[in-house]
Amino acid sequence: MATVLETPAFLSHDQSLLTTLIVKLAVMAVLATMLARFRQFRHILIFERRNWQDRLVFTLAFGLPLMAGVTARLLLNYNAADLTLEGAFLAGLIAGPYSGAMVGALVASPAVMGGEFIALPFAVGCGFAGGGLREACPKEAIWQFTPFVFVDLGKHLWHAVRRLEPNWQFVLLAAPVGLELLRQGLGYRFGAQRLFYLNSPSVWMTVLVVLAAVLAVATPIKIWNSARIEHRLQEQEKLLLAAKIEALKSQINPHFLFNTLASISSLIRSQPETARTLIIKLSGLLRRLIRSHQHFVTLREELEAIDEYLDIEVVRFGSKLRVQKEISADTMELIVPSMLLQPLVENSIKHGLARKIGPGSIVIRSWRDNGRGVIEIEDDGTGFLLDRLNQTMSSGIGLANVRERLRVIYGATSQLTLTSEPGVGTRVRIELPEIVAVEQITA
């Protein structure tokens, strides 16, 4: 049986050109996405005021990959990697005329060494064209330019005619179209040996070449604008979180102050010297709270604040109140939210020991357990019934505030449990992620 050899199928010129245009857009999108992942590059995109170091970083980060693409086109005949027009124009549009010109010079340098002498003035001109357009139009209009501009093209034209003023989206669309047509004309006049361009005898393919130039400019703008918006949302979330933490923290100070002043007022007539001592200690503690704007402190610092608070309570209750600490040495540098323990200790005294006949004690413990920091505050006060457990957890500023702060800061990675037995006492247990250093959040 004779074997029939199939004739290999080759892409036509127009099919090869269409494939080149598709890959060209993919190359630009990948480059823009990769650059947006670098923090310093995102910083350059976010802030409109840029110093010369920022412009140099932008020029090198964007220009060197584009220059490598032109080199790949010359050495490997990989036409899709050549983004001379789009890259130079886009650099000028985003970073200004000088950055655009420098990117254009970088991108055109391999082409000039390959004999394409028109490439250098053309690329530099594209950079200045983008930079000039940047200086003329509002900055937000640039970031609103998207690959979907063609959908609203009629609306942009109508606005320009009706208002008798330039519509910047239409201007941004017309600029790369004009530059691509200029390149087609120069290439046709002087030949591909002097200026690289994608040519086709088909009018429709020429239209697609022009369309690809527009999309290769609009796609990175869309990607980078999404990165800018994402960064702004993250910053807003940080500010919102800091404001919420500050609001929750600010609830503690008036709550604590009200309770302490109520205690002092009850002693003014019967024990004036004791009341005077309490006022002095309270003023010292308030000065500490006013000076401190930190949302997170080490457990060591938190315990020092608790000691100042307990000094006040010891003066008030005398020998009736005993405080015991069982603090593991390896937990002293754990990071905890500031003013976390004070409302819990205050609850133990107010609801557990104040109503107890005879002396009472509070035990503060801490230890590490499987990558978590554990803190317990236990009293031997009056306790409460199990059916009041949920009510106690949801009412009152102290426990409710602590629970909400833990939820806001740590989410599901923290836990607060409350156990109590009438006549035996109450124990509050907090489990936190084991963190020994954090970036402080300031409101």
- Tokens matching residue 442: 């300031």
Specify whether 395 is located in the same domain as 320.
yes
Lowest mean pLDDT among 7-11, 203-207, 263-267, 296-300: 7-11
Summarised one tens digit per residue, pLDDT across range 121-147 is 999 999 999 999 999 888 888 888 888
Domain annotation covers residue 145 = yes
Same domain, 65 and 146: yes
Per-residue three-class SS string for the chain: CCCCCCCCCCCCHHHHHHHHHHHHHHHHHHHHHHHHCCHHHHHHHHCCCCCHHHHHHHHHHHHHHHHHHHHHHHHHCCHHHCCHHHHHHHHHHHHCHHHHHHHHHHHHHHHHHCCCCCHHHHHHHHHHHHHHHHHHCCHHHHHCCCHHHHHHHHHHHHHHHHHCCCCHHHHHHHHHHHHHHHHHHHHHHHCCCCCCCCCCCCHHHHHHHHHHHHHHHHHHHHHHHHHHHHHHHHHHHHHHHHHHHHHHHHHHHHHHHHHHHHHHHHHCCCCHHHHHHHHHHHHHHHHHHHHCCCCEEEHHHHHHHHHHHHHHHHHHHHHHEEEEEEECHHHCCCEEECCCCHHHHHHHHHHHHCCCCCCEEEEEEEEEECCEEEEEEEECCCCCCHHHHHHHHHCCHHHHHHHHHHHHHHHHHCEEEEEEECCCEEEEEEEEECCCCCCCCCC
Residues 12-32 pLDDT 10s: 778 888 999 999 999 999 999
Query: Domain check: are 96 and 212 in the same one?
Result: yes
Using the predicted structure, report yes or no on whether residue 180 has a pLDDT greater than 70: yes
* Co-location of 227 and 365 in the same domain: no
What pLDDT score does 276 carry?
A: 83
Residues 220 and 170 in one domain: yes
pLDDT of 258 strictly over 80: no
**How does the average pLDDT of the chain come out, rounded?**
82
CA dihedral 6, 11, 12, 14 (to 10 degrees): 160
Q: What is the pLDDT of residue 210?
A: 92
Q: How confident is the model at residue 386 (pLDDT cuts 50, 70, 90)?
A: low
Domain residues for the domain of 218 are 13-235
Q: Average pLDDT, stretch 261-265?
A: 77
Decide which of 210, 235, 260 is a domain's last residue: 235
Judge if 217 and 357 occupy the same domain.
Answer: no
Of the listed ranges 51-65, 92-106, 167-181, 251-265, the one predicted with least confidence:
251-265
Percent of the chain with pLDDT over 70: 82
Residue 394's pLDDT is: 47
Window from 78-92, 153-167, 327-341, 427-441 with minimum mean pLDDT: 153-167
What is the mean predicted confidence (pLDDT) over 302-317?
A: 79
Same domain, 274 and 204: no
Within this chain, do residues 282 and 203 fall inside the same structural domain, yes or no? Answer: no
pLDDT-based confidence at residue 341 (cuts at 50, 70, 90): confident
Q: Please report, for the domain that includes residue 380, its CATH number.
A: 3.30.565.10
Are 201 and 341 in a shared domain? Answer: no
pLDDT at 289: 64
Same-domain status, 226 and 290: no
Residue 339 has pLDDT above 60, yes or no: yes
Q: Is the predicted pLDDT of residue 47 greater than 60, yes or no? A: yes
Count other C-beta atoms under 10 Å from residue 187's C-beta: 20
Q: In the structure, what pLDDT confidence band is assigned to residue 111 with cuts at 50, 70 and 90?
A: very high
When mean pLDDT is compared over 200-209, 290-299, 400-409, the highest value belongs to 200-209
In a domain, 246, yes or no: no
**What average pLDDT score do residues 413-419 get?**
88
Task: Please report the pLDDT score of residue 438 as a whole number.
Answer: 44
Q: What is the pLDDT of residue 239?
A: 62
Residue that is last in its domain, among 218, 235, 252: 235
Distance between CA 27 and CA 33 in Å, rounded?
Answer: 10
Percent of the chain with pLDDT over 90: 33
- Tell me, yes or no, if the pTM score tops 0.75: no
The answer to whether residues 287 and 208 belong to one domain is no
- Give the tens place of pLDDT for each residue, 95-110: 889 999 999 999 999 9
pLDDT at 64: 94
On whether both 168 and 58 belong to a single domain, the answer is yes
Give the number of domains in the chain. 2
pLDDT bucket at 393, cuts 50 / 70 / 90: very low
